Every structure is written in C-alpha cells, then in structure tokens.
Structure 1
Amino acid sequence: MKIGIGNDHVAVELKQAIKAHLEERGLEVVDFGCAGTDRFDYPISGYKVGRAVADGTVDLGVLICGTGVGISLAANKIHGIRACVCSDPYTAKLSREHNNTNIIAFGARVVGSELAKMIVDEWLDAEFQGGRHQHRIDMIAEIEQTQGLEAAE
C-alpha cells in the first residue's frame, strides 16, 4: 500500500515520526509536505495529497498541520476526497468503517506522536463496512457532484 503524507511548517517533526511509523509497518510513503520550519502554506500539501489520492498515485493520505482542520479543508475540495480530522483512535476507526475516509488529518498542536501513531493504526486497520453506510456515502457524492441533495429538497 502506498500512503501520501503532507504537512506544513508546524508539523515537520510529527510528519517525520508518522512517516517512519508507516514505513515500519511496511508501507511505501510518498512525501508531499515541507521539510523545513520556514512558513509553508498548508493548502499546498492538502491539495497535493488530495490530488494524489484522487488520481490513484497513492492509496490513502495522511495530513498534518497545526490543528488538522485547514489542511483537511483543502484536501476536501478535491473531487472524491473524504478527509477527516481525528484526535482520537475511535473516531479514526469509525471514519473508515462508516464514512470510507481516504485521508486522515490531525494536528501537531493537538496530539503527540504516540497518540498520532495510534490514530493512524486504527484508521489503517479499519475497513469500510458498506451496507447502510454506502447509501450515505452516495448522498455525500451527490452533493459533491451536483451541489444538491434530492432527499433534502
């Protein structure tokens, strides 16, 4: 499995820890983030990882900025991306099982490296359950494609 990872200047250290952790799991990691602490705009990494997931260059993505929010918002603008900010392993697991998320994000100012590793592990080890959840994913896709939702109108 190939994982895209991206970050801003706030998250360089945590990105390195997560990248090493992913590689220890035997995963290939493609780094779309910045390497230094000079100011770096998180939408760039969010876009690059989102685009790589959407076009199949990588299978899944991990994004890290100060809170995880801004970088995930950028990724979610890419058609087909379902990025979720998670600060705990349980939410990460359910985001895969119920929402079929293809990018996980978290904040370097919110979680430490050991918790971040647990979040990533729970997310990677979870599988989409389909069933009633697929209908809801289809509804999200309808909103994305048409800017509307027939069931809500």
Structure 2
Amino acid sequence: MKALIQRVQRASVTVDEQCVGRIEQGILAYIGLGPDDSLQSAKRMIDKILTYRIFDNDDNPAKYGKLDKNVQQVGGGLLLVSQFTLMAKTDKGRRPDFGGAMPPDAAQALFAQLIDYAKTQHANIATGQFGADMQVESVNDGPLNFILEVS
C-alpha cells in the first residue's frame, strides 16, 4: 500500500459538480492499494498518516519551524482519495502499467474498510468517491509531500 500525502491549507473533491469531501488545514492523502494489501495494512497506513509529524510546533518557540506535530495534534482534517495510479509500474516504456493495483471490486471494499477505520481514529475525516471522475483542489502548504508505504 502506498500513500502520497500532502500538507494542505485546504482541499476538496468534486464529483459531477457536487462537493463530496472537504477539509481545511490538514492532510490530503491519495491511497494506492496493491493486490496483497489487507485490512491490517490499511490500519497501519492510517495510523502512520495520523501520527506522521509534518506540522510545525507553534507552541514552543525553541522548536518553531520543526516538523514536530501530527494532524491529530493540530486538529486538522484528513481527506482520503483512492488513487490506483500510485501502484503503476513506470520503470519500463512510456506508458504506465497498472498491473500492480488491486482489482477494482476488492479495492473498493478495502478502501471502505480503511475509511471506516480512519473514522474510529480521528474525528475530521472526508473522502472522495471511489471509482468516480474526481476533481481534486488543494492548497499545498509548504509544499510538503511525502510517499508512505506499508506492507
């Protein structure tokens, strides 16, 4: 499982001109699921995202400017967007190979479980719409972007 996370000032997902998910300060996380991923790896990924320290410590002047707080500590939101293209193989040729992605039906079920788990761990969770043509808008803060992986 891979996640591309971005620290954002705000982010939203629109489907068919309707906003389906929106957060203010927090993390926009694109989630890629592979064929061997499970609920256990999904829980590890959510735990990692929620505790990954990518926010400044504004409370302590001696540590200002250091990435010392996580999204939970700053009361931020988490916007989860399913993104099978993260699993693309890109080492050969000029066209991505999506054979490394979990099949859609299984991915949809696992992504739903991932969302359910995230909601038990953090109050401010928003999502995109699995399999939809989504328009994602964000104001990247920093910019700070990280690729996280769990197995």
So what's the TM-score if we normalise by structure 2? 0.31
Q: Larger relative contact order (C-alpha < 8 A, sep ≥ 6)?
A: 2
TM-score between both structures, scaled by the size of structure 1: 0.31
When Rg is computed on C-alpha atoms for both structures, the one with the higher figure is: 2
